[in-house]
Structure 1
Amino acid sequence: MTWYVVRRLLISAVVLLGISAVVFLMLNLVSDSPGRVVLGQRASPEAVADFNTRHGFDRPVLAQYVSYLGQLAHADLGRSYKLNENVATLLGQNAGRSAMLSAAGLAVALVIAVPLGILQAVRRNSLADRLLTAASYVLYATPSFLLGLILIAVFSQALPVFPAEASQSHSPWVVFTDPRAMALPVITLAAASVAVFAQYQRSSALDQLGQDYIRVARAKGLPERLILLRHLLRNACLPLVTLVGTLIPTLLAGNLIVESLFNYPGLGLLFLNSLQREDYPVLLAYTLIGGVLTVAGNFVADLVVAAADRRIELRK
């Protein structure tokens, strides 16, 4: 198990290095003169050139990238062009709220999707299975911003149950302290994941229902409820663990849409504002966070699955 963990860590490090290189080069191509972005279009060419020279932007791209890696090694994400603040500080001020929103959306999605997937598998090809499958496809195909607008129109305007704007509290625990204001953002974020998780859980459960251990349990006369909870659920959820790990960055992207739609102060709203201001250090840091979450999610999922099924470790 130790060698498996070390090997996965090495692979993760290489992937992160590749992500940082690609993102850095892409943003460098987009902005060939940070001095012009920072000083504005009215700045003289001399002032722009002096700014680029003082900050090392006139050096070759490779040299700039090596310097950036050195900054990352010291946990230095640079400074915001427009806000003149440390990027790490800006991210730290907003990360807690975005993380809590993502966690709430993921929890709601799993609580709904896992029982639905099991139900569909047990009642395969029934009317309920077909209706739930159709609803999942429709929900998955609906863009998050459109779903959010529909929820606002129905539950905030037609039926004034929830406010149209998310809570503006700076507390990361706002999901618990002001659940009414956070209901629509959480539901919007969780909706697409419910559709994916439910269908994935259904397929996994169908595969497990055909295994010998399920037939043996039924032959022994065990109650169906006990078979589902004690035998089926654990094995059917293992593939879902891997899927959850890969979808963590999708939640981050969903945060971007949801936070913008409901004006929720988090990383997504910070990213959109930075995009409008062409604040590339913030954009680079946000993209790197998405890469780190992708790699970390896959790494943790692999460890959980390997711990639950030792055959995974042996095959790899």
Structure 2
Amino acid sequence: MKAAVVTTAGAAPEYLDFPEPQAGPGLQIVDLVASAIHPIVRHKASGKHYSSTGQYPLVPGVDAVARTADGTLVYTGEIEAPWGTYAERMAVALTLPLPDGADPVAVAAGINPGMSSWMPLITHKDEHGTPDTVMIIGVTGAAGGLAVQNARALGVRRVIGVGRGVDDLKRVAGLGAETVEITGDKDADAAAIGAALDGKSPDLVLDFLWGGAAESAFQALADVPGNGATSYVEIGSVISEQAAVPASLLRSRPFRLRGSGIGSVDMRRYFAEVGVYVQLITDGKVEVDAQAYPLSRISEAWAATAGPRPVLIAG
């Protein structure tokens, strides 16, 4: 079969022949309909992600919309290495049928970045009620924009979006966020975040950047009176894998620090919430910006690192 194949660590995928997957016990063969190129896919393919197997050659891709033998459109993922979802066919265990009217490209593009914030938002709602104020660090990326929409869909009253780029921040403001521009100067960024908080700590922080941006947020939060509990969820580490957490912040208020990602989420609950999120996309309650490319144009799609999320489709 044809697939996008990464031959060595750090190489871009090529449109090549790859062995057919085998339908072992509990698996079925499905055909590719649409699979998006997410940042995690690039990271895993490079061999640098904590979940990378180091096994090459491999077919990248973590999730997809596929068609079963009886013609049903399903969302699926978790393919056993070295196979992935950027292939004409894949062997899968879990499948979630799509509702009528679902756009396969939008679903493929939206589930991975959208669920990265949906799960911590839902978890917070279950444990502490719907947050009144949510702050999103790294709001101008695809995942950040969906996080704004997710918070609004859940009834969050106030969303503060922290990020870079005047035009991108204007776009995020149009989604319903109050925006804060940061520059990379930790003290100045802390002051800007603190001004936006205006003396009240957020109930939930969703951080896609970590590193210096997180340290600025910690500094700003430490200067806000301890008038409420804050849950801080580390989702991504675009800036750095490391961030220093001040002890005074941990001691001065109820402050919960956790991560959200592969290995830290109950996958049974995750898969149940995927169904909820697919319906949100289908109903137009969250909008996903995507661009489709035939699988044979993997090189062009892989190079598209800015703009709409690239989605590989059969062909």
Q: Which range, TM-score by smaller chain?
A: under 0.3
TM-score, normalized by length of structure 1? 0.26
TM-score by length of 2: 0.26
The one of the two structures with greater contact order (alpha-carbon pairs below 8 A, sep at least 6) is 1
Structure with greater strand percent: 2
- Which has a greater percent of helix? 1
